[in-house]
Amino acid sequence: MDQLSHVVIAGAGIGGLCAALALTKQGRQVVVCEQAATLSEVGAGLQISPNALKVLRHLGLEDELRPFAFVPEYAAIRDYKTGEYYLKSPLGTSAESRYGAPYWHLHRADLHRVLVEACLQAGVELVLNAAVVSYRENLERQPVSLLLEDGRVFSADLLIGADGIRSKVREQMLGQERPTFMGQVAWRGVIPVSDLTVDVKPDACVWAGPGRHFVSYYLRGGDYVNFVAVEERSDWLSESWREEGNVDELKRAFAGWHPEVSELLQSARSTFLWALNGREPLSTWHQGRVVLLGDACHPMLPFMAQGAAMAIEDGYVLAKCLSRHSLKDALFQYEHLRKPRATKIQQMSKANAGLYHMHGDVLGRMKLTALQVAGRFVPNVIQSKLDTVYGYDVTEV
């Protein structure tokens, strides 16, 4: 299993493209199969923390992305009614000084477009309308083959399943299993600043409230505001995991919140509604010549803003392991390095849901107040909790 010259990747999302770019820079021939007819991303923002930005820097993308970035001044948690700060932790130059890379806000479409262009320039072959059906292994002169819905077949030495939470590759490897609805939905949207009637602080801000929370931050140098509004629900009746949302319903769900939230939403013209799904940790991330990354193996709740970051790290670490070890050893090493970190951040994200939604009523508010007190009287207490996330550097592992 040592020869590795051809790689096929299922999925042209951020994680799949990062893996493709890193592998192509090593001299591998890479084909990326994407089921969509066009290479585009639904408009929404991403928080690119220093751990992810270090990878993008090593992939040679930092300068290309900088014109699209917004640098927030603080990470904040505020009360949904009063606007009181439970947490106000410096980002900006402080984050760059502490972690060796800045904390950026990017539009997902901008990051995706830059990745696509870099992959094409590096020689990656991108195949569209490529819906995955299954894969086959151990064929004569074809170590692994990816079979598409239209009958096309792509053979390689390694198959990477980067095809999301409903991964066909994962399903064949580990069996059919529906993702678990986590009892929450997320409304997402982007609003031009020129349409706003309220000033929005230049922070990565979480507004915490009973059973729901609201996130707002700037994109594209401050020309747009991105919002994510998460609401607890007992079920999800739609067959789709994502659909166009009803803006009026969104506004009603957050009526009576602080004016910076309610007035911001008055300017919203459209929104998408996501079901937040998860999975229990998988028994393995690889089998034979097939390996998973990103949401295909560790879907993240958005309460640490690390979903894209973990996929970016995955792609880089997988490529690094493949450059250092035989194929069999590389896949074991990749899982050994990535699984504990991804699982830990999944757990941190789940715990934050209870904090942001004031679970336990009075007890929930007490936890936020304790966070507030700790931030006032113990310098850097909040930053120290994030050091293991933001300070981690996969380029040096």
Question: Which one of 74, 80, 99, 217 is the catalytic residue?
Answer: 217
Whole-angstrom CA distances from 8 to 16, 120, 140, 365 are: 10, 15, 17, 49
- Strands across the sheet containing 29-33: 125-127, 29-33, 6-10, 158-161, 290-292, 286-287
Catalytic residue status for 80: no
Cα–Cα distance between 129 and 34 in angstroms, integer?
6
Taken as a whole, the chain contains a residue count of 397
Cβ neighbours of residue 280 under 8 Å, at least 6 residues apart? 180
Q: Identify the helix (H) or strand (E) that includes residue 143.
A: strand 142-148
CA distance 124 to 117: 10
Kindly state the tokens that stand for 7: 């790689």
* Token representation of residue 141: 């002169």
**What is the C-alpha separation between 168 and 323, in angstroms, rounded?**
27
Q: Distance (Å, rounded) from C-alpha 357 to C-alpha 376?
A: 22
Give backbone dihedrals phi and psi of 124, rounded to 5 degrees, phi first: -70, 135
What positions carry a catalytic annotation? 217
